[in-house]
Amino acid sequence: MHLCPITSAVHAKHERRKEARPGELLSAALTLFVKKGFAATRVEEVAKLAGVSKGTLFLYFASKEELFKAVVRQNISGRFAVWNDEFDSFEGSTADMLRHCMTSWWERIGSTQASGITKLMMSEACNFPELAAFYENEVIQPGNELIARVLKRGVDRGEFRPLDLKYGVYMVLAPMMFLATWKHSLGVCTGSLPLIPEEYIAAQVETLLYGLSLHPPRVPEIISPSVNKPNI
């Protein structure tokens, strides 16, 4: 039996819509998780924002927890393979590599809604130990290992001074976590802290590199102008 052209077009549109549903649900979930937090977000709200029924949502995601995990994988942890490949083929200095690491984080995650997941986990992780363990395994550990790779490369190549990589990782993470938290808190509701993210990251990178470098550039000495003292 052959379908008429109109029926075929409707069927094709329905199939395209069906294929798009997981992405639409993940986009809606990310928006609500960042805006309201994990505990306060209801699956009914996610389904409504995505334009589907609650039952349809459960066809794709078994629970709110599984929905959250899928959001994290799509927006954050799924990017680590690409970043590792980029660093495997990176040919520049380790200083340039660290710059790329922090600026690309801002461009791909920090400047997007996904950076709100960092603030969400900081505030709600203790209430949801299973999600905290998931986030530790899929985001924190791979992220720390990636940064440690960058720092170790600098040490092995004689570009960075020897350092405890564990704490070196935290030094790199701290400004990025501050920026993510600021973006989704004070950065939204007040203009009292003028901060341009790109300039902030550039300043932090240069400060880090000064401390990490085996031979940091010499800071010009500031000589105070002489003061003519009266002869007594």
State the total domains in the chain.
2
What pTM value is reported for the model?
0.81
Question: Does residue 194 sit in the same domain as residue 92?
Answer: yes
Question: Taking the C-alpha atoms of 57, 59, 64 and 67 in order, what is their torsion angle to the nearest 10 degrees?
Answer: -90
pLDDT above 70 as % of the chain: 81
Residue 62 domain boundaries: 17-71
- Report residue 215's pLDDT band, with 50, 70 and 90 as the boundaries: confident
pLDDT of residue 7: 43
Question: Does residue 109 sit in the same domain as residue 96?
Answer: yes
Question: Does residue 115 sit in the same domain as residue 95?
Answer: yes
pLDDT of residue 120: 95
CATH number of the CATH domain containing 113: 1.10.357
pLDDT of residue 171: 96
Helices (H), ranges, the chain: 5-36, 43-50, 54-60, 64-75, 80-88, 94-105, 116-124, 129-135, 141-156, 165-183, 186-189, 197-212
pLDDT of residue 214: 78
Question: Does residue 99 sit in the same domain as residue 55?
Answer: no
Question: Does residue 95 sit in the same domain as residue 146?
Answer: yes
pLDDT above 90 as % of the chain: 73
Question: Does residue 40 sit in the same domain as residue 142?
Answer: no
Q: What is the mean pLDDT of the chain?
A: 86
- Report residue 90's pLDDT band, with 50, 70 and 90 as the boundaries: very high
- Report residue 193's pLDDT band, with 50, 70 and 90 as the boundaries: low
Inter-helix orientation angle 141-156/94-105, to 10°: 160
In the predicted model, is pLDDT for residue 10 greater than 50?
no
Question: Does residue 51 sit in the same domain as residue 162?
Answer: no
Q: Kindly state whether residue 48 falls inside one of the protein's structural domains.
A: yes
- Report residue 4's pLDDT band, with 50, 70 and 90 as the boundaries: low
Q: What is the pLDDT of residues 25-80, one digit of tens each?
A: 999 999 999 999 999 999 999 999 999 999 999 999 999 999 999 999 999 998 99
Question: Does residue 89 sit in the same domain as residue 133?
Answer: yes
String of DSSP letters for 189-232: H--SS---HHHHHHHHHHHHHHHHBSSPPPPPPPPPPP-PPPP-
In the predicted model, is pLDDT for residue 16 greater than 50?
no
Q: What is the pLDDT of residues 110-162, one digit of tens each?
A: 999 999 999 999 999 999 999 999 999 999 999 999 999 999 999 999 999 99
pLDDT of residue 8: 43
